[in-house]
Structure 1
Amino acid sequence: MGPQVDTLASDARFPAEADVVIVGGGIIGTSAALFLAQRGVSVVLCEKGHIAGEQSSRNWGWVRKARRDPREIPLIIESLRLWEGMNQVVGAETGFRRTGIVFAAESEAEVARYETWLDHARPYQIDARLISGAELERQVPGGASRWKAALFCATDGRAEPQKAAPAIAAEARRNGAVILTDCAVRGLDREGGRIAAAVTERGRIRCKSLVVAGGAWSRRFLKDLGLTLPQLKVRSSVMRTAPLEGAPETAMWCNEFAFRRRLDGGYNIANGNVNVVPIVPDSFRFFTDFLPALRADHKSLKLRLDGRFAQEWREAAPTPLDAVSVYEKVRVLDPAPDRRYLRQALESLSRMYPVFAGTRIVQEWAGLIDVMPDAIPVISPVDSLPGLVIATGFSGHGFGIGPGAGRLIADLVMGGTPVVDPHEFRFSRFSDGSNPRPIAGI
């Protein structure tokens, strides 16, 4: 069972039309709804389950520039600016705090990797730097002697995944957006080669634009529109503890574990270097696309054949728009956590930082991350279907970058000057011969 998310009830009114319909009520969809509604655009957000029911409430809660893909840095800079004032904007607690994040290096090779990242980041004048010795001990007291050095960014921070998207959605509603939960979008109608309506389980909503921010479901939704998105899923597991005194305030990652303090005084803990990759039918279809990423990250990506293969095989066929869709049959993706890897992480953490020894584990959960071959998202219109904007494939980076992505989506929908150059996030990079790849050395 997933974490307890702040509840946001659905609007009772079902509108017959809107300027924009957004598919998906995670951090990306809710942020886009807020920035569009603030501009006076009529918006309906449709979520098949509840707001932030999937990965937007199940992630680590990090908001970071450090070790960010360089192609995302302009967007995360904008996003952090927005996070800084988010509590005031939404009139609620999102949990955002600037507390710093440390990426520890055990070897000279890891130190060199962080130096390479700093070379990538230097043009953006980010306040990240390598620290060691006494300075590292001040940030994460009790275990600094273990590390050669660490990459540290003092202005990085954290927010609460179970609070942020619901608070943003509530503010979007106050600005005029309609928020519909338990309302799956099954597909769309077209007229004259462009979008005419979103077809939901409750009826049609006429619209000029549709934003697909469906996370791990986006590949399936777009496939039914005749669009090929090379997207797979990675399962990531997290545990949370009871409130704990005396543990570091600064968040930390190393090869064996990662942790960050929660607003309630507990900690989120995860395995720093293990993500499980379910083998599914699309794994074979997109094998060539993802092969460079698998080669680069083969130690941390654990391939698994489990029940998802059969499930996605059964769900592959398109469903008529007047029939119950898979989105209604599976309201929330709620995979079982990988407890063995979580226990390994907690054991390693407790050995290095004894303050965590004996801490009470309150809950464990997992989520499915929507990943792309080059590990950066698609935030893009689609030339072949005017009115469609895709916002997916955030590859585990989506929570922190969410507000900035929402603003960029609003810019793309409105046709104005985008807040950052969206070229790297274009959908066409998978069909124009660009050969997208992860950036080595980050």
Structure 2
Amino acid sequence: MPGPYVVPVHGDADLPKDVDVVVIGGGIIGASTALELAERGLRVALCEKGGIGQEQSSRNWGWVRITRRDPREVPLMAEALRIWNTLDQRTGRNTGYTRAGIMFTCASDKEYADHERWMKNLEGYQIETKMLSGTEFKSMFPDSRLDIKGALFTPLDGRAEPQRAAPAIAEAARDKGAYILTECAVRGIETAGGKVSGVVTERGPIACQAVVLAGGAWSSLFSGTLGLRLPQLKVMNSVLRTKPLEGGPEQAIWSNGFALRKRQDGGYTIASGHENIVDIVPKSFRYARDFLPALSKEWRSLIFRVGGRFYDEARIPDRWALDEPSPFEYNRVLDPKPSKKLSDVALANLKKAFPVFEKAEIAQRWAGYIDVTPDAVPVISAIDSIPGFHIATGFSGHGFGIGPGAGRLMADIVMNRTPVVDIKDFRFSRFSDGSKIELISGF
């Protein structure tokens, strides 16, 4: 079964000869960057090898959360929450955003204490968050059979529709003058005097002074053609959605056995709250040393496998001429086969916790590749060695909610303005300047 239905965005027929900025990648990060730049008066071309929002930007859970974020992401996510609150009005389109609250359940006293400590990360922000006791949780969900110590609950957190959001933002960018170019892969960049001077697409060249790479899981491959080492691997998450169901929770809930989010159509998006699949591929060995610290903390939640993906990626070239087709033109959309087992287990656990889901009917299943970095923190950065080149990638499963904030920060960096938040933790150079790369477990 193909991936989820995404609101279609029809690409512009004409390729511009020159713009100020080319954004590579039409997911929520690239679309948000394009909108921010276009609103500030820059001429922008958003180039997407397939369709807008067709990969992980439409395949995620649809959570818009600050709760349990890596502390390094909290300031940017606080900005993203402010943007989401007015995004429908700003774009003139329906993203499905609503503030219904998100809660993370605690199965043990240790988890309760860990969640309670995390709340300190919101000190200084006007964001209400609180710990619920097991009794308080039960009073909110009287039909639940979950036996828990309590939950961390943030009413300001919310949800949106991944199949709507990136298309809405991209169309809004076009309203502001941006070119939206679908099925238009960027094969590489051109430089003059050591600086970015343009890109070469499959449809021809575009001159520009700046490029933003927001290519998701493809970013490491593209960066490598420029001599940049970007440690990035893929993790596969499987999801199912149900048909409309009455009587389920309004709040998004994470538990050890499942994660759920109510959809705008009245159904639910359901996934494992804990387990993901990692395909062993050639780059697994190339970046093994980078990811060892993370694996030492998170290996229990990862299912490693060797299969056809190893050979698929082994056949992808590392270099190609700009006048010949690139790998991006041979694979327009990453559409992995979902794990029926993992999503079935998640649904079974959910039925035990909330009996109302015994009536749930499965409407569709899909999977997506999450692009991860060794510290699970994104790169949102100018690249010093290639003036005019920028990267916004590696959001490690946290990209949908933070996307509009990341777009704003990337626009600040491109325009050399005071950034909306400190960029230190997002700099690309942290992987090569001797900095300690640390995964903060549990985020």
| Aligned AA (1:174) | D
- The CA deviation string for residues 308-359 of structure 1, in whole angstroms up to 9 with x for no partner, is 1111111033111111111000000000001101000111111111100131
Quick one: which amino acid aligns to residue 116 of structure 2?
Answer: E
Deviation of the 1:200 alpha carbon: 0.3
1:321 equivalenced with 2:327 (yes/no): no
Structure 1 CA distance, aligned partners of 2:336 and 2:441? 30
Over the matched positions of the two proteins, sequence identity in percent amounts to: 56
Q: Which residue of 2 aligns with 1:103?
A: 104
Aligned pairs (5 A) from 1:9-88: 9-88=10-89
Q: State the match for 1:337 in structure 2.
A: 338
8 Å contact kept, 1:210–1:389: yes
Distance of 2:323 and 2:254 partners within structure 1:
48
For 2:277 and 2:111, how far apart are their aligned partners in 1?
A: 23
1:211 counterpart SS class: strand
**Corresponding residue of 1:383:** 384
- The letter of the residue matching 1:37 is A
Shift in Å, 1:435: 2.1
Q: Which residue of 1 aligns with 2:153?
A: 152
- In structure 2, C-alpha distance between the alignment counterparts of 1:113 and 1:123, rounded to whole Å: 20
Distance 1:441 1:301 in 2: 13
SS of residue matched to 2:315: helix
Letter in 1 for 2:283: D
Say if 1:188 and 1:437 are closer, same or farther in 2 by CA, change over 3 A.
Answer: same
**Counterparts of 1:96 and 1:339, CA distance in 2:** 28
SS of the residue aligned with 1:198? strand
Partner of 2:272: 271
Residue type of the partner of 1:339?
K
Q: Give the AA of the match of 1:135.
A: E
Displacement of 1:121: 3.5
Matches of 2:442 and 2:285, distance apart in 1: 27
Query: How many Å separate the matches in 2 of 1:441 and 1:264?
Result: 31
1-structure distance, mates of 2:333, 2:377: 24
- Kept in 2, the 8 Å contact 1:133–1:144? The answer is no
- Secondary structure class of the residue paired with 2:29: helix
Aligned partner letter, 1:257: F
Q: 1:193 to 1:99 in 2, by over 3 A?
A: same
Higher mean alpha-carbon deviation, 314-323 vs 65-74, is at 314-323
Partner of 1:439: 440
Distance 1:34 1:139, change over 3 A: farther
SS of residue matched to 2:299: coil
Cα 1:436–1:198 change in 2 (3 A) is: same
Secondary structure of the corresponding residue to residue 390 of structure 2: strand
Which range moves more in the overlay, 109-118 or 399-408? 109-118
CA distance in 1, matches of 2:359, 2:96: 26
2:170 is aligned to 169
Q: CA deviation at 1:143?
A: 2.0
Q: 3-state SS of the aligned residue for 1:299?
A: helix
Please tell me whether residue 113 in structure 1 is matched to residue 114 in structure 2. Answer: yes
How far apart are residue 145 of structure 1 and its match? Answer: 5.2
Q: Secondary structure at the match of 2:151?
A: strand
How many residues of Structure 1 are paired with residues of Structure 2 in the alignment? 442
CA contact 2:3–2:59 (8 Å) conserved in 1: yes
Distance 2:96 2:146 in 1: 31
Q: How many angstroms apart in 1 are the aligned matches of 2:139 and 2:298?
A: 31
Aligned-pair CA distance for 1:135: 2.7
Q: Is 1:308 equivalent to 2:342 in the alignment?
A: no
Q: Supply the distance in 2 between the matched residues of 1:133 and 1:282 (Cα, whole angstroms).
A: 44
1:297 pairs with 2:298 = yes
Q: Equivalent residue of 1:346, what SS?
A: helix
CA distance in 2, matches of 1:315, 1:274: 28
Matched residues in 2 for 1:158 and 1:215: separation?
Answer: 21
- Go from structure 1 to structure 2 and tell me whether the alpha carbon gap of 1:441 and 1:312 turns closer, same or farther (over 3 Å shift): closer
2:300 is paired with a residue whose SS is coil
- Partner of 1:298, secondary structure, is helix
In 1, Cα distance between equivalents of 2:244 and 2:267: 4
Change in Cα spacing, 1:164 to 1:107, as seen in structure 2 (3 Å) is same
Counterpart position of 1:252: 253
CA offset digits 1:100-137 (Å, max 9, x no partner): 01101111121122123223443545422210234313
Structure-2 separation of matches of 1:148 and 1:100: 19
Output the CA distance in 2 between the equivalents of 1:351 and 1:236. 22
Question: In the alignment, is the contact (CA less than 8 A) between 1:113 and 1:441 conserved in 2?
Answer: no
- C-alpha contact (below 8 Å) 2:36/2:407 kept by paired residues: yes
Matched position secondary structure for 2:68? coil
**AA matched with 1:355:** V
Work out the CA distance in 2 between the residues paired with 1:249 and 1:70.
26
Check whether the contact 2:145–2:354 (CA below 8 A) recurs between aligned residues: no
Q: Which consecutive unaligned segments of at least 5 residues does structure 1 have?
A: none
Return the offset for 1:169: 0.5
Deviation at 1:144, TM superposition (A): 6.1
1-structure distance, mates of 2:60, 2:145? 26
- Superposition CA RMSD, Å: 1.1
Q: Deviations over 1:246-284 (max 9, x none)?
A: 001011001100001000000000011111111111111
Which residue of the partner structure matches residue 135 of structure 1?
136
| C-alpha separation in 2, matches of 1:259 and 1:356 | 11
| Structure 2 unaligned spans of 5+ | none
